[in-house]
Structure 1
């Protein structure tokens, strides 16, 4: 039985951490090391974690100065010894068969992705994600086609509903001090994978809190635009496959975030720097393949206020 490292970044979640850790301890797959990274919590989260570690020999707790979610994940990876990794956010919880099912259905893939269920803080079901309709084994190109053209982007990009091989996370470092940190790393992670397995079981419970990052609308658009432009550059320069249509879809997505990001900060220097990169990449892309859609998106991106009006009408 192969060792799986479960990495749990923790910051001020004393009300939720016990349920999270208990769901991991109760896993039917027992060959686990549970790495809890207390990222400078100012509540009793660290004590909750320490109490669990006293009762469970496979739990290791690390206390560090606050550096953010990405910093805590990177710290956990550095201290992991397993052949496979799982990230579980400390206010979420998992089905008792989460890791067992992912390992059994892996089919030799370097990345396994499950559906998830969105719940409120009391555990009441709000929405069941069923973007993955059936189990499947995908190559890298199929992953990106499904991601962009079948609307699987949330299921596929977040870090927490997945099982990773050590190879998948080779040379991967989550970006510190950025929102949308998962968007920055999903490209290189997929490129590290020989294949990707998707399973239609809903095994992860994402707890939606009013003050959670994912529940906050219209924030981090410049970070997201940065991540998407880096992804385009990665596709164009480093990816093992050349995917012209997927590069185009990436730039179209970046145009949305860039236009909305215009309104995030009074200092527009970051926006104009990103806009320049975007314009260069659009021209490169149009030189490879003419696209009316990308051309129109790029034109609309020149008028952020007009774009925001269209966006608000659609949403």
Structure 2
């Protein structure tokens, strides 16, 4: 894979990597090692174990103990992926406009050691606010870019879902999301299809300042037997419909 050199004047973004984790003892070591081997080193990793009943926490904790920029917490009770992500993303960030949030599931991993380099170049060269892209799964490489008309006329909720892995966004964009829009009709954080709930508002606010990354950055483990698409597919479909009916956000200007 082509290397992406980083010039000193551009090396200013901090990557805030959030890893929600539940019963991923078979996968978490590979996930965390894919982050450790990144050639761009300005990153911080927050891991949350959501009451795993296997050895996930022990494996992850032993890795975190060896790296100062890794930290892990274990929930006393199950909260769900979205609730955990919100809790970690709501921690105070010193420079929101210079911090890029990245979401990595504990059973997935980054495709290569150049992922953060590629993202850094993308944010630096395009001044984008959010990215989505190509990923590798059991069916091969997947990923498409939203057509220009969809972006221009803010039709994301009416169109096919393209904002897939690897999902990244500037932290100040995240802070502009109304957290009430992440709640279901029972006023609880979405337990499935939560990626739509967080991405639609940010895509809408970013408008033209969004980028599709054609390079494969992420490996999605769609073979995990406890994945939502395997055990809660019907709930996913119904929840996605509910999220798509929520009010749209308007384009917002960011520095």
- Work out whether the TM-score is over 0.5: yes
Query: Larger deviation: 180-189 or 217-226?
Result: 217-226
CA contact under 8 A between 1:3 and 1:84: conserved in structure 2? Answer: yes
Report the RMSD for the aligned CA atoms in angstroms.
Answer: 2.6
CA gap of 1:215–1:128, structure 2 versus 1, over 3 A, is: farther
Out of 78, 83, 86, the residue aligned to residue 71 of structure 1 is 83
Counterpart residue number, 2:210: 196
| Number of aligned positions between the proteins | 222
Write the distance in 2 (CA, Å) between the matches of 1:226 and 1:147: 11
CA offset digits 1:206-252 (Å, max 9, x no partner) = 0112331123443333322211111xxx23xx5349xxxxxxxxxxx
Distance 1:55 1:45 in 2: 16
2:239 is aligned with 1:228? no
User: Is it true that 1:185 corresponds to 2:198 in the alignment?
Assistant: yes
1:79-228 alignment to 2 at 5 Å? 79=91, 81=93, 83-95=99-111, 96-106=113-123, 107-119=126-138, 126-132=139-145, 141-142=151-152, 144=154, 151=160, 153=161, 155-156=162-163, 158=164, 160-172=165-177, 173=179, 174-175=182-183, 176-193=189-206, 195-208=209-222, 209-216=224-231, 217-228=233-244
Any conservation in 2 of the 1:167–1:192 contact (CA below 8 Å)? no
Per residue, is there more helix in 1 or in 2? 1
Inter-CA distance 47–187: structure 2 relative to 1 (3 Å threshold): same
* In structure 2, C-alpha distance between the alignment counterparts of 1:128 and 1:148, rounded to whole Å: 24
Residue 78 (structure 1) shift: 2.1
Describe the shift of the 1:72–1:212 C-alpha distance in structure 2 as closer, same or farther (beyond 3 A): same
Q: Structure 2: which 5+ runs fail to align?
A: 1-10, 184-188
Partner of 2:51: 40
- 2:37 is aligned to 26
Cα distance, 1:143 vs structure 2: 8.2
Shift of 1:141: 2.7
Q: What secondary structure sits across from 2:46 in the alignment?
A: strand
**TM, length-normalised to structure 2:** 0.77
Q: Which runs of 5+ in 1 are unaligned?
A: 120-125, 242-315
**Secondary structure in 2 aligned to 1:27?**
coil
Q: 1:240 to 1:58 in 2, by over 3 A?
A: closer
Measure how far apart 1:180 and its partner are. 1.1
Max radius of gyration: which structure? 1
Q: SS of the residue aligned with 1:207? A: coil
User: Are the aligned partners of 1:143 and 1:196 in contact in 2 as well (CA < 8 Å)?
Assistant: no
Using the size of structure 1 for normalisation, the TM-score is 0.63
